[in-house]
Amino acid sequence: MGFNIVVTVKQVPDTHNVSGNAMKEDGTINRSALPAIFNPEDLNALEEALKIKKITDGNITAITMGPASAVDILKECLYRGVDKVILVSDKKFAGSDTLATSYILKSAIEKNGNFDLILCGRQAIDGDTAQVGPQIAEKLDINQITNIFQTVKISKNSITVKRETDTGAEIVKSRFPVLLTVTSDTNEPRPPSVKLIMTYKKLKADDFSKKISFPDISAEKWNINSINAEESKCGFSGSPTKVVKVDNVVLTTGRAKMISNTDDGINTLFRELNQNHVFG
Amino acid sequence: MPNFYSDNSDILFHFNNMNISEIINLKEDNFSEKDDFLHAPQNEADAMDNYNKVLEVVGNIASGFIAPRAANVDRDGIVFENGEVIFPENILDSFEKTKQADLTGFSIPRKYGGIQIPITVYIMAVEMISRADASFMNIFGLQGISDTILKFGSEEQKLKYLPLFASGSVMGSMALTEPDAGSDLQAAMLKASLKDDNTWELSGVKRFITNGCAEISLVMARSEKGHIGGRGLSLFIYRRDDKMKIRRIEHKLGIHGSPTCELQFNNAPAELLGKRKLGLIKYTMHLMNLARLAVAAQALGIAEAAYRESLSYAKKRVQFKKPIYEFSAIFEMLTLMKVNIEASRTLLYEASRCVDIKDGLENKIEKYPEKKKDLQKKLKKYAKYSALLTPFVKSYIAEMSNKICYDAIQIHAGVGYTCEFAVERLYRDARITSIYEGTTQLQILAAIGGVTDGTLLEIINSYENNHDFNNVSELIAGARYIRSQLELSINYIKEKKDIKYQEYHSARLVLLGTETMISYLMTIDALKSEAKKKTAALFISTAKNQAESITRFILSNDQNLLNYYNDILNDNP
């Protein structure tokens, strides 16, 4: 068998282009007011997968959990050259927090079969938790390397990457299987191929799991039963995170203090930072 | 993120209102490939949807990837080291993006790996790419040489070369110009020799070759010993090897990302394309005509970029306590920029449409020789129209673009003259568009026949016959008035039978002819859009004044320039 790569992808509201009515009165996101896009760092994960596919002569499965409309981003994956796409969708998944989501995705990855490498975007721009990737690795009981920004080397049994840390960077090597979370510095995602757009544009959510007439790819739609997931671990019941209250926070800048570029000025600055425990 | 397709309401207007059903049907031949290729369209609507999606992808790459790199490409330029051209990394990255998106085989048929898109749609893409970076357009646009291989190459050559272009594995160039054969291409001397084993070798020098470092070049060479003139020339496919040395590259005013090379061929092996002796008169003409449309689109893209920079600057820049946008001197320049850009676009698409129909008919006749009799007349008509409209658009749009870039710097004033703002680069890049692929003066030579022999009036008559202009009565009255001025001028020139006088006024006559044509096209556009009524009205009122002035001049029989130029230039008393 070839080298099996899984990429997890998510359709998110475009929080980078927020307009006036982007937030509902209760403080939650008004998804209908924001265009749905491919989570940006998931595109970086996909790009890295495509590069690795080329080196390893492997195959890529892209998996998303979401409503039928999430088919759009799976098509975007096909337009860039993945081999298999899976929509994991069930009403019982509604309200899933990161714990439930990672359980559902982990179940889907297991159901999909052997894998050598799982690539996830570091975080999604709607929740910004960066938890799902690490939790999937934890549940699958495999190695994980988070916040990578460069693939250094791939060999038959291992991968070496550079990852960001708070203080700089680390070079980390891991055996397969391993899960990587990928940052936007890793690569420049490729555009879709127009040839593949013309080929797969007509694929609809209803066509998933049907025998479709595209010889080179497969498209599946799975529900809670197909991935053998326990209902109690999915959706609201599987999500310990409860949003108690959402506040609108208006960030304001404090009064600026000018400090002169002299020894005295710098001493004052240090004293103040020390007193405020910014240092020490 | 902005998209150079979806942010351009004029391109969208044309795309949505264009009647290209005939072109699609010629291109797709009753959708005969729908079961053979997954990416082949099933019907007309599907084809249009494909084109729309292709343009979205191009617009996205142009705005999001190519445009942000243009200033660096211009600054870094091409480096020539150890006999090799080194591209700025940013340009190679842009090429890689177009390759990943499968945009390198626009007009190549599916069976050779391309996406089989009409020229009209390709021309839209070329404009967007040029708006992002005019110098990158030369690399992107030279995929067009594959079209000449497709049209005149053997099946073996097509199978060998077209997939390389379609996959973006190679870049192309057209090696035509020589030190002593610029506008006068029939003076080309580079020698092609037929060896005993029936293969060809090239020897000699080519100069001013855009992208001459490309892997595959079409080289025009003298294959017929003793034949001087155009009929001694053939066209060859040359694949880069060590028998060709790049002697130097030119240091140019603009398009810094595009290498202009001097090439020395030393018994370099090459393949004959098509038949001997047809190199210039048939194949190079075809090659150049497509390239001329592409250069017109390039000029238009530069103009679009310059206009947008100027508009946004004029709204922000405050002098005398108000944005300079509010001064009539400024808003007049801006408005005329936009009107002339829209005028250019409608003319460009009309020319591309004619070329698409001509090409489609030629392909159909080749595929179904039995239909030749029925189609021949129509083909002849569209060949004639294309031959007139191509030099129209090349000359008109290149000059328009230069003027717009001039005004763009004027609106920016002092800062526009500095490298801090994009308009100085656009100004330098625009300058070449009225020179390469045939100077404006050569385009006028190519167009004047069609203006005076009735071809232009034939096209205009077809517009008159095919449209009901009742809803735009003032506009059509204006267009007809301009036409009447044109006819006065043509008749005067024809009756005078003075070839020198005709040559003297040919630039003015071609301009008048072009503006007559545009006045009609804009009136037709105004039938479909309220906004277009305003741009058409403004174009026509300006063109009317110009038409009167040109006609007055031509009818005056004023020959002072012809009589005095020699004395004035030679300081004769």
Chain segment B318-350, per-residue pLDDT in tens: 999 999 999 999 999 999 999 999 999 999 999
Contact A194 B60 (CB under 8 A): no
The predicted model gives B170-175 an average pLDDT of 95
Is the pLDDT confidence value at B464 over 90? Answer: yes
CB hemisphere CA count around A182 (13 angstroms)? 28
Which chain A residues touch B61 with a CB distance below 8 Å?
191
B437 in active site: yes
Tell me how close the Cα of B473 comes to any Cα of chain A, in angstroms: 43
pLDDT at residue number A277 = 79
Contact B39 A192 (CB under 8 A): no
Tell me how close the Cα of A218 comes to any Cα of chain B, in angstroms: 15
Is the pLDDT confidence value at A17 over 80? Answer: no
pLDDT at residue number A26 = 62
Is the pLDDT confidence value at A97 over 60? Answer: yes
How far is the CA of A139 from the CAs of A111, A148, B113, B503, in angstroms? Answer: 14, 20, 45, 83
Which chain B residues touch A194 with a CB distance below 8 Å?
50, 53-54, 57, 101-103, 115
Q: Name residue, tokens 């999909």.
A: A112
Which chain B residues touch A214 with a CB distance below 8 Å?
38
Query: Quick check: A190 contacting B, CB < 8 Å?
Result: yes
Which chain B residues touch A196 with a CB distance below 8 Å?
39, 102
For residue A27, what pLDDT band results from cuts at 50, 70 and 90? low
- Of residues B437, B458, B487, B548, which has the active-site annotation? B437
Across the interface, of B65, B97, B101, the residue whose CB is closest to A194 is B101
Question: Is B438 within 8 Å of B336 (Cβ atoms)?
Answer: no
Query: Quick check: B57 contacting A, CB < 8 Å?
Result: yes
Question: Is B55 within 8 Å of B125 (Cβ atoms)?
Answer: yes
Q: Return d(Cα B384, Cα B378) in angstroms, integer.
A: 10
Q: Return d(Cα A11, Cα A85) in angstroms, integer.
A: 14
Q: Return d(Cα B290, Cα B393) in angstroms, integer.
A: 12
Is the pLDDT confidence value at A28 over 80? Answer: no
Is the pLDDT confidence value at A35 over 60? Answer: yes
Peptide bond into A40 cis (omega under 30): no
Is the pLDDT confidence value at B566 over 70? Answer: yes
CA-based end-to-end distance of chain A: 55
ipTM of the complex: 0.91
Across the interface, of B40, B41, B101, the residue whose CB is closest to A193 is B101
pLDDT at residue number A206 = 84
Cross-strand pairs, B190: none
Q: Return d(Cα B326, Cα B321) in angstroms, integer.
A: 11
Domains of chain B: 1-170 (1.10.540.10), 172-277 (2.40.110.10), 285-438 (1.20.140.10), 451-569 (1.20.120)
- Cβ-proximal residues to B227 (8 Å cutoff; 6+ apart), any chain: B277
Tell me what the pLDDT averaged over chain A comes to. 89
Q: In chain B, whose CA is at the least distance from the CA of A14?
A: B1
What percentage of residues in chain B have a pLDDT greater than 90?
Answer: 94
Tell me how close the Cα of B38 comes to any Cα of chain A, in angstroms: 5
pLDDT at residue number B15 = 97
pLDDT at residue number A208 = 83
For residue B227, what pLDDT band results from cuts at 50, 70 and 90? confident
Which chain B residues touch A190 with a CB distance below 8 Å?
97, 100-101
Q: Kindly report, residue by residue over A171-218, the tens digit of the pLDDT.
A: 999 999 999 999 999 999 999 999 999 999 988 888 887 767 687 888
Q: In chain A, whose CA is at the least distance from the CA of B99?
A: A193
Cross-strand pairs, B246: B263
pLDDT at residue number A249 = 74
3-state class (DSSP) for residue B401: helix
Q: B-contacting residues of A 198-237, CB under 8 Å?
A: 198-199, 201, 214
Q: Return d(Cα B336, Cα B343) in angstroms, integer.
A: 10
Q: Return d(Cα A74, Cα A89) in angstroms, integer.
A: 13
Contact B57 A197 (CB under 8 A): yes
pLDDT at residue number B60 = 97
Higher pLDDT, A252 or A113: A113
pLDDT at residue number A280 = 63
- Give one DSSP letter per residue of B32-75, joined into a string: TTTTT-TTS-SSHHHHHHHHHHHHHHHHHHIIIIIGGGHHHHHH
pLDDT at residue number A22 = 73
Contact A198 B39 (CB under 8 A): yes
Which strand ranges, in their side-by-side order, compose the sheet holding A158-164? A169-175, A158-164, A143-154, A178-182, A117-121, A4-9, A59-65, A84-88, A218-222
* Of residues B289, B256, B315, the one with CA closest to residue B390: B289
Continuous segment of H or E residues that includes residue A13 = strand A11-13
Q: Kindly report, residue by residue over B130-143, the tens digit of the pLDDT.
A: 999 999 999 998 88
Tell me what the pLDDT averaged over chain B comes to. 96
CB hemisphere CA count around B151 (13 angstroms)? 20
Residue spans of alpha helices (H) in B413-496: 423-431, 440-452, 455-466, 473-496
- CA A104, distance to chain mean position in Å, is 14
Contact A192 B49 (CB under 8 A): no
